[in-house]
Amino acid sequence: MMTMKTIKKAITLALGLVMMGTASFAQSLADAKKAIDAEQYQKATSMLKTLISSNAKDGNNYFYLGNTYLLTDEIDSARAVYTNGIAASPKLALNYVGLGQADLLSKNPTSAKTNFDKAIEMGAKNYETYLYIGKAYLAQENPDYAAALPMLQKADELDSKDKDAETFLALGDFYAMQLTKNSEAYPQYLRALDINPNSTRAIVQIGRMFKMAFSFPDAENKIKEAVAVDANYGPAYRELAEVQMRWADADPKNAEAKRSEALANMKKYLDLTDKSFDSRLRYAQFLVYANDYATLSQEVATLQAPDANNPKTFVVKRMQGYSAIENKDFAKGIQYMNELFARTQDASRIIGSDYLYFGKAYAGSGKER
């Protein structure tokens, strides 16, 4: 028969196991950041909202949630979250950086600088302040390299013990984005790998550099190293697909095999991410390059930009038109191409093949314009 002391001990032990089990499933900011890097934005959003609910005073959670919204083109939502983050954690500079990036994406550089200056005033000794300002200048449609570099260099200086691989990933990206400066990007990615040898993003970025140098076997092998580290890292499959598609274009003998591999890897990328609009758009564009119009017609049938005025809607409309015409649905093709040309706000985006396909649609339908 159990004594009261034994019963209490058993209850305490059971409770402890429950608490341990709960802790093992607890989501952390590091988990959310990993999801963001893996382009699992819906997952990251859910995790960060949970973290905010459990600790409403930690401004870092708001900052990364705001960043996730920016990555999915939800600028107003991001701005609201950063503002809430400032209210929750007034001494944290990062949410002012977030507001500044939202300003840059809204084409308001004056307001962006005001917010960045406020962030520096508050967090002048924190390398992350400069790191994320530098990344914000790079994340625009037209990156401001002149403004980004001193910020990233200051981050490097303040992170004197090389604790954070992100600093060197950002510096590597700064050079790699300029295409002609790959030789300067490479050592920065190696520095990131010195800090974190399993940095899948650093490995993939080096693979991209080989791709840009048309060294396709080296690029493929390098990116496969990232897959070996983390088989669920979606961006690695996207880059692998892009390498293989370029390889197919450059090597007619292996074109069919490489194109087949590329399509399989691009589909895997889509399955491993949260199937956001941007990831689905990448997949659809890839299907155009692969001349797989049957699959494309299925994919673009339900593909819609977050709002009708988004310039990416123009790209979707073009792919809808092209796929309908290639699949000999000329009536639909004419409809989509008329909708494409009706977008006067995107008139500068019209290209010669748009007229060519419009002509094919009318020729196939037997109608005259």
Mean pLDDT of 235-242: 96
Are the CB atoms for 133 and 103 separated by under 8 Å? no
Mean pLDDT of 225-246: 96
User: Across all residues in the chain, what is the average pLDDT?
Assistant: 90
Confidence band for 10, pLDDT divided at 50, 70 and 90: very low
Determine how many CB atoms are found less than 10 A away from the CB of residue 33: 18
Residue given tokens 């983390």 in the structure block: 230
| Six-digit token string for 300 | 């673009």
Residue 26 pLDDT > 50: yes
Are the CB atoms for 175 and 184 separated by under 8 Å? yes
Single out the residue of 316, 306, 365 nearest to residue 343, CA to CA: 316
| Six-digit token string for 214 | 């048309």
Residue 233: left if φ>0, alpha if ψ -120 to 50, beta else—which one?
beta
| Least confident window among 75-84, 166-175, 191-200, 265-274 | 265-274
| Six-digit token string for 283 | 């997949």
Residue 369 pLDDT > 90: no
Query: Which amino acid is it at 343?
Result: R
Q: What tens digit of pLDDT does each residue of 56-104 get?
A: 999 999 999 999 999 988 899 999 999 999 999 999 999 999 999 999 9
Residue given tokens 């007229």 in the structure block: 355
- Between 345 and 147, the higher pLDDT residue: 147
Give residue 99's pLDDT: 98
Distance between CA atoms of 200 and 175, rounded to whole angstroms?
19
Distance between CA atoms of 262 and 254, rounded to whole angstroms?
12
Residue 109 pLDDT > 90: yes
- Cα dihedral sign, 73-113-119-163: positive
Single out the residue of 58, 104, 106 nearest to residue 81, CA to CA: 58
Name the DSSP class of 90: T
Residue 6 pLDDT > 60: no
Residue 273 pLDDT > 60: yes
Are the CB atoms for 192 and 169 separated by under 8 Å? yes
Distance between CA atoms of 316 and 320, rounded to whole angstroms?
6
**Which alpha helices (DSSP H) does 39-144 contain, by range?**
41-54, 59-71, 75-88, 94-105, 109-122, 127-138
Single out the residue of 34, 28, 91, 98 nearest to residue 69, CA to CA: 98
Single out the residue of 133, 70, 112 nearest to residue 62, CA to CA: 70
CA distances 270 to 104, 238, 299, 349, Å, are 29, 8, 12, 27
Over 19-40, what HEC string results? HHHHHHHCCCHHHHHHHHHCCC
Percentage with pLDDT > 90 across the chain: 76
Give residue 322's pLDDT: 94
Distance between CA atoms of 223 and 240, rounded to whole angstroms?
6
Are the CB atoms for 226 and 204 separated by under 8 Å? yes
Residue 186 pLDDT > 60: yes
Decide: residue 197, CB within 10 A, 0-12 exposed, 13-18 middle, 19+ buried.
exposed
Are the CB atoms for 28 and 60 separated by under 8 Å? no
Q: What tens digit of pLDDT does each residue of 288-312 get?
A: 888 889 999 999 988 887 777 777 8
| Six-digit token string for 111 | 């307001």
